[in-house]
Amino acid sequence: MAIEQAVDSERMESFFRRLEAKGMDALWRQRPGDRTGGAPFPPFRWRWSDIESFVQEATELVRPGPQAERRVVLLGNPHVPGNLGATHTLTAAVQTVLPGEIAPSHRHTAAAIRWVLRGKGTITMVDGEPCEMNPGDLVLTPGWCWHGHINQSDGPMVWMDSLDVPLVGALQAMLQEPYPDELNPATKPVGDSYARYGSGSMRPVWGSTSSPISPLLTFPWSQTERALHQLAKIDASPFDDVAFQFTNPLTGGHVLPTIGCWIQMLRPGVRTQAHRHMTSAVYQVFRGRGSTIIDGVQLDWEEGDFFALPPRAWHEHVNRSTEHEALLFSTNDLPVFEALNLYREEPYADRNGHQDVIGSYEERAG
Ligand code: GTQ
Ligand code: FE2
């Protein structure tokens, strides 16, 4: 006879209550975990047309400085608990700095990346290095680096921010402090880290040989674009087409310990095969239009749109144009999964790697 039948349920309930009263529980009482391994929350998309008008309105409402440390529109995914991140590990946001404005320096334990969308002539000061910002450039602000932004041009500057705030918050490690002055001073020339490490295949014979944080702080678009076209001539991934991970030139690993950055080119007409993995990502559609099919739901995107890919969701990408390339920039939490030995991925085996489309994002969003 099974034990659970032998023990009367009143006695079991009493046992549970007495355990609870002393801050304990019986493991067999816990509800079953997520055995299916499906996506924990649905995808979300932010339209550029909406973002752009809110960003414009924000320029009429606040100035960076004492009133608002940063003029940032946060893309909070309403499906993620806390509604702070675009995914449960990463934030995405759009920041704008007008001509003559300074977003004052501060530092925080959370790490950030900037992916430049519009404008020119802005400098982000990163631990004394003035980093130039032009569209398609990636700029790193590693954790605890003093950083501030200054727009010395005659036009507005707009970029994507992505930070590891939800992850750092879950670890109760969010610390922040203001710089005592407006902007931390330049102690290095413009392009210092690029001059040292920007070749991609060489490093100065002096200096450190390893670091978990990329010593290269800026990744200019001209180089990224050239690399994509060269790779496209010879190879591509069945799941991501022509895709690069930005790398720490000293290690070949991720640029930051908590944030991975990718740029991918979907060649005209390409439809990738579906797969799923443990990591989540936030995509910014830098150029082109297409769709990403996520757990059978077709999410269409156009230039400027952002979308969040939840962890463990089946996904495949489609470039809807047969003439033009589509370019997707994304941040992901892959470095964390690799460091903790938690990464797994799985190809979609059925129907030659393609999902059945069971609905559109618009229908699902209601
Ligand atoms: O520019 O320093 O989107 O500290 C969020 C927090 C941007 C920044 C964000 C930040 C910044
Ligand atoms: Fe910051």
Domain-located, residue 16: no
In a domain, 168, yes or no: yes
Q: Which pLDDT value is given to residue 299?
A: 98
221 three-state secondary structure: helix
Domain membership flag for residue 5: no
134 within some domain: yes
Asked if the model's pLDDT at residue 1 lies above 60, the reply is no
For ligand 1, is residue 73 a contact (CB within 6 Å)?
no
Q: Using a 6 Å cutoff on CB, does residue 71 contact ligand 1?
A: no
Express each pLDDT in 189-244 by its tens digit: 999 999 999 998 899 999 889 999 999 999 999 999 999 999 999 999 999 999 99
Q: Which of 114, 163, 182 is the best mutation target for the ligand 1 pocket, counting ligand atoms within 8 Å of the beta carbon and taking the most?
A: 163
> What does R_g of the chain's alpha carbons equal in angstroms?
23
**Over the range 244-257, which residues count as b (16 or more CB within 10 Å of their CB) and which as e?**
bbbbbbbeebbbbb
In a domain, 15, yes or no: no
- What confidence score (pLDDT) does residue 37 get? 79
Residue 2 lies in a domain: no
Give the type of residue at 175.
L
Return the structure tokens found at 247: 């790398």
Quick one: pLDDT at residue 34?
A: 58
| Gap between the Cα atoms of 363 and 366, Å rounded | 5
Distance CA 120, CA 135 (A): 7
Model confidence pLDDT, tens digit, residues 86-137: 999 999 999 999 999 999 999 999 999 999 999 999 999 999 999 999 999 9
Q: Is the pLDDT of residue 6 over 70?
A: no
The amino acid sitting at 255 is: V
User: Which two three-digit tokens encode residue 303?
Assistant: 């230039």
Q: Tens digit of pLDDT for each residue in 24-44?
A: 999 998 776 656 678 999 999
- 324: domain CATH number is 2.60.120.10
107 CA to centre of ligand 1 in angstroms: 9
The stretch 278-282 carries a mean pLDDT of 98
Residue whose Cα lies nearest atom 10 of ligand 1: it is 70
CA of residue 70 to ligand 1 center, whole Å:
6
Domain range enclosing 103:
44-365
Query: Mean per-residue pLDDT for 287-311?
Result: 98
Evaluate whether residue 11 is within a structural domain: no
Give the Å distance between the CA of 319 and the centre of ligand 2.
34
117 pocket-lining for ligand 1 (C-beta < 6 Å): no
Residue 4 domain-assigned (yes or no): no
Contact 105, 193 (CB under 8 A): no
User: What's residue 200's pLDDT?
Assistant: 83
How many domains is the chain partitioned into structurally? 1
Helices (H), the chain: 3-6, 9-21, 48-61, 165-170, 192-197, 221-234, 334-339, 361-365
pLDDT at residue 366, as a whole number: 63
Distance, in Å, from the CA atom of 240 to the CA atom of 52, rounded to the nearest integer, reads 28
Please tell me the total number of residues recorded for the chain in this structure: 366
Which residue intervals of 260-333 are DSSP H helices? none
